[in-house]
Structure 1
Amino acid sequence: MQRRLCSAILSLEAIVLGLSTIVLVSLTSIATSTGLAIGLGLFVACLLVAGLLRFRWAYVLGWGIQVAALALSAVITAMIVLGVVFMVLWATAYFLGAKIERERAEWEARAAAAPGPDYSSGHE
């Protein structure tokens, strides 16, 4: 569940960062090549990390992407809002997904340990 939630957040964030590349290139004083490298680099990073979330270390990269997206607010002030929103969404997906997985594992362990009905005698 954690992987699904975090992957969804990164996929949505990739769209936002891809679109912010246009703003980064056209409305800031940053050189076009630098703006493209930053915007499209973060776009590609989101998609790659979303696909690599089966590895625990990829979540660290996901946190790094959140920090980088928030750091874009130094250049595009509107990104402070989007950066904070995606940071909160990422943290929620990360921690809530982990909690759901823990609770599901506990539930499955209890279900496996509980005796089931005895069908061998014809009575339940």
Structure 2
Amino acid sequence: MRTLCASTLLGEFFVIGLAGLVAMKLDDVSQTTVWTVCGVGMVLSLLLCGMLTRPGGVQLGWALQGALVLSGFVVPMMFILGLVFGGLWWASIHYGRKIDEAKARWADQQARQEAGEATA
């Protein structure tokens, strides 16, 4: 799960940075505000890559997904990109857990086979 989620978060890192470039052209938002918000989002997405296995890491990832969707009020295209990354985040968690379970079953099966060969 960690690999898939981290890949999604790295993609978000770049999307947040590019959204900052778009928001910088807006007249009603200061550049300081844009880069403060985008910087926090970018740093959070990188930090979450390392926090995924810790308690609350996945929930913080969901909070980032929500913030990405809400950023559509400043840059309208972010509504779509936020929903896309929200779907990717869900898929990363859902299928990542299935992959982790399959790997655990395979490792258990291999350990049993090796134990059976050792006793034979």
* Count of matched residue positions in the alignment of Structure 1 and Structure 2: 119
Identify the residue that residue 68 of structure 1 maps to in structure 2: 67
Question: Where do residues 83-122 of structure 1 align in structure 2 (5 Å cutoff)?
Answer: 83-114=82-113, 116-117=116-117
Mark the CA change 1:40 to 1:118 in structure 2 (over 3 Å): closer, same or farther: closer
Identify the residue that residue 35 of structure 2 maps to in structure 1: 36
CA deviation profile, 1:32-74 (whole Å, cap 9, x unmatched)? 2211111111111101111222313211111111110011011
Identify the residue that residue 59 of structure 1 maps to in structure 2: 58
**SS of the residue aligned with 1:26?**
coil
Unaligned segments of structure 2, at least 5 residues: none
Aligned alpha-carbon RMSD (Å):
2.0
**SS of the residue aligned with 2:80?**
helix
Structure 1 residue identity aligned to 2:67 = A
- The runs of at least 4 consecutive aligned structure 1 residues that moved more than 6 Å come to none
TM-score under structure 1 length normalisation: 0.84
TM-score under structure 2 length normalisation: 0.87
**SS of the residue aligned with 1:9?**
helix
Task: Calculate percent identity across the aligned residue pairs.
Answer: 30
Unaligned segments of structure 1, at least 5 residues: none
Deviates more, 1:83-92 or 1:47-56: 47-56
Q: Which has the larger radius of gyration?
A: 1
Structure 2 residue identity aligned to 1:41 = V
